[in-house]
Amino acid sequence: MPSRAACVSDRHMHLSPKQLWTAGLLTIAATVAAPGLVKADSHETIIVSHGYNEYDELKYSPDDPHLDYVNPNAPTGGELSLAVIGTFDSMNPYATGIGSPGALSTIGYEDMMVPSADEVGSSYCLLCTTLEYPESQDWVIFNLRDDVTFSDGVPMTGEHILFAFEMLREQGTPSYAAFVNANVASAELLDPYKIKFTFMDGVPRRSLISTMGSLPAWPKHWFEETGARLDESRLEIGPGTGEYMLDSIDVGRQIVYKRNPDYWGKDHYLKVGHGNYDSMRIEYFGDTVSAFEGFKAGEVTFRQENSSLNWATAYDFPALDKGWVVKSTLPVGSLPAARGFIFNMKDPKLADRNLRLAIGRMFNFNWTNQNLQYGLFQQREAFWESDLLKATGLPEGRELELLEPFRDQLPEEIFTEPASVPHESGDRPLDRRNLRAALALMQEAGYTPGSDGLLRDADGNILSIEFIEDTQSMDRIILPYMENLKALGVDISYNRIDPAQYQDRTQNKDFEMRDAAYRVGFVEGSGLSQRFGCEDRDDVFNDAGYCNPVVDALAESLLSVETYDDMAAHITAIDRIMRYDYFMIPVWYLPESWVAHYDMYERPAELPPFSTGFLDFWWINTDKEEALKAEGALK
């Protein structure tokens, strides 16, 4: 059977992303593997498949017994316990800006299609058997399974998918509603197990099928019986079709999920080897210190470490000496989050790029990494920290072609100077060269130091900035940076606030500077505008409130690309512009994952490239668990 690329046209017949993986660079997944082709009455070919991707051939077939990276014989049993900092007062994760939702509160719900962890961009039918769509991608039909049940025993039908679609459109985030209203003309049930989405005329088709495939199944009967809404804070949680369901809640302190013994999908090839814990327990702690103490005492048994200080110096406690706890460094194949200190771009005071550059100059990555982070991190340059996606040198080739029409709207430096990279810093916390450079930039921004050393604008107003944070462990990183900014003459204040207040202020753009991390991927689509677009400037996912019309235009153009290379060129151009705009001071990234756990967890010998998988396909050796309990290692 020919691939979709061969069926549609020969325009895909060039160096593919899969060939890039062969060269050791990247794995890119598939469009459809061995799709069925059906001629519709209009003579347009209808593609029928068990999965979907924009670019190549799917790796897995529905006849495969399981995914390659799982242990199909993994035993079930035991309990995973994790620590979370802060508190929670809701179990509704969809009510943005209202309440603090509990960790893993979406765990009971499944989407129609799910990704694999060893491909990029592929989605496979889970709640559906197949999807079908024309070459034009003007619509998509999902043929749903008839054997899926919610945890309360109610059968799932297309009515539950349609209900979730309508609820998300009416009560979900404004950005989702705006996307759906602009792109989806209709949603209809063709029969109880067949749902069709028809897309608007004239809108790009890219990512529309994937977006519809990510719709969850929500229990319409439960929502109607309880009157629950998406846009409210509540502790009740409806039944889902997933492997786990809620067991107990101690508000603000603990959440326990238990494995559904009647889970419908335990033999599904996408789920074999998954969901191996009998229960998952989330313990809440007031700060990072108490959370670490809880791990040392055996109250928490699995820890994904994010503190270089702890990783380098704190793992010398008795449980480790006795062999009860083990440390592991795992490879991370996914793109690191684009992390840095962001500016609120809606604040007029921060509108001048020279001012932002000056403030960024005072962050000393070299000294911070060597003296506070034990040299364990690498400095981030790009939003997409990948040789395939980040801008380098001067724009050329397809990237230049994309930027050229916007020459009049972009600074000349975009075309004449290499892509912006972080400044270099010396071995002392305050780099005098960068201080002088920052003062010069501040003068260009209209600020000069007064007799008291504080920077003032032409009207004599002091440059005052507040940096907010909610994590205690960041104090030792941010406080030296604050001292450098004071040396520059900024009236800087560092305000560490509680997680609930922090969530409220960040979602409402009530801040001037803060630490943030944008999720980025090897494949980008409609979600790009939600994170960096002008129309979504107020959206909770657009952390900095960033807006650049050229980035908007490129993000829209990206939705019409037909090759991975063209998508990569779009991302490179966007990366170049956003780095020039400097709404985020790039800090660091970690090319590996640090985990520590009690010696009862086991995992496949070879992890997939895009997931560590401890929530999904690790398991517990219950004999070791009982031995640890007998020795008093676990509480």
Average pLDDT, the chain: 91
Please tell me the CATH superfamily of domain 4-64+109-226, with its number: Periplasmic binding protein-like II (3.40.190.10)
Contact between 78 and 620 under an 8 Å Cβ cutoff? The reply is yes
Please report where in the chains the tokens 């204040």 appear, as a residue. Answer: 493
Q: Burial level of 137, CB count in 10 A (0-12/13-18/19+)? A: middle
How far apart CA 600 and CA 588 sit, in angstroms, is 32
- Helix, strand and coil in the chain, % to nearest 5: 30, 20, 50
- Nearest CA to 210 among 521, 1, 610? 521
Task: Find the radius of gyration of the CA atoms of the chain.
Answer: 26
Amino acid 9 reads S
For residue 30, pLDDT beyond 50: no
Q: Using 50, 70 and 90 to split pLDDT, how confident is the model at 8?
A: very low
Per-residue pLDDT at 373 exceeds 80? yes
Q: Quick check: 567 pLDDT over 70?
A: yes
Long-range contact list for 626-631, CB < 8 A, 24+ apart?
628/298, 628/324, 628/598, 628/599, 628/600, 631/322, 631/324
Residue 7's pLDDT band (boundaries 50, 70, 90)?
A: very low
pLDDT band at residue 499, thresholds of 50, 70 and 90? confident
Report the C-alpha gap between 333 and 336 in whole angstroms.
9
Q: Looking at residue 244, what is its pLDDT?
A: 98
Q: Note the Cα 435 to chain centre separation in Å.
A: 35
For residues 352 and 446, give the distance between their C-alpha atoms in angstroms, rounded to a whole number: 9
Are the folds of 4-64+109-226 and 338-589 the same? no
Distance CA 397, CA 400 (A): 5
Rounded CA-CA distance 33/13 in Å is 16
pLDDT for position 34: 40
- Tell me: the pLDDT tens digits for 134-170? 999 999 999 999 999 999 999 999 999 999 999 999 9
Please answer whether residues 623 and 601 qualify as being in contact, where contact means their C-beta atoms are separated by less than 8 angstroms: no
Sign of CA dihedral 6, 10, 12, 18: positive
Report helix, strand or coil for 145: coil
- For residues 269 and 95, the model is more confident at 269
* pLDDT, tens digit (0-9, with 9 covering 90-100), for 197-237: 999 999 888 889 999 999 999 999 999 999 999 999 999 99
Instruction: Please report, for the chain, the start and end positions of each structural domain, with discontinuous segments joined by +.
Output: 4-64+109-226, 246-256+270-332+591-630, 338-589
Work out the number of other CB atoms within 10 angstroms of the CB of residue 10: 8
Distance CA 132, CA 54 (A): 14
Q: Is the pLDDT of residue 560 over 90?
A: no
Strand, helix or coil at 347?
Answer: coil
Tens digits of residue pLDDT in 400-439: 999 999 999 999 999 999 999 999 999 999 999 999 999 9
- pLDDT band, very low/low/confident/very high, at 26 (cuts 50, 70, 90): very low
Question: Which candidate, 115, 147, 109, places its Cα nearest to that of 128?
Answer: 147
Domain 338-589: give its CATH code. Answer: 3.10.105.10
* Model pLDDT, residue 97: 67
Cα 37 to Cα 53, 208, 322, 611: the distances in Å are: 16, 20, 61, 33
CB atoms within 10 A of CB 631: 12
Judge whether residue 441 has pLDDT over 50: yes
Residues 536-561 have a mean pLDDT of 93
**Torsion angle in degrees (nearest 10) through CA of 450, 456, 461, 466:** -110
**Superfamily covering domain 246-256+270-332+591-630:** Periplasmic binding protein-like II (3.40.190.10)
Question: Are the beta carbons of 538 and 545 closer than 8 angstroms?
Answer: yes
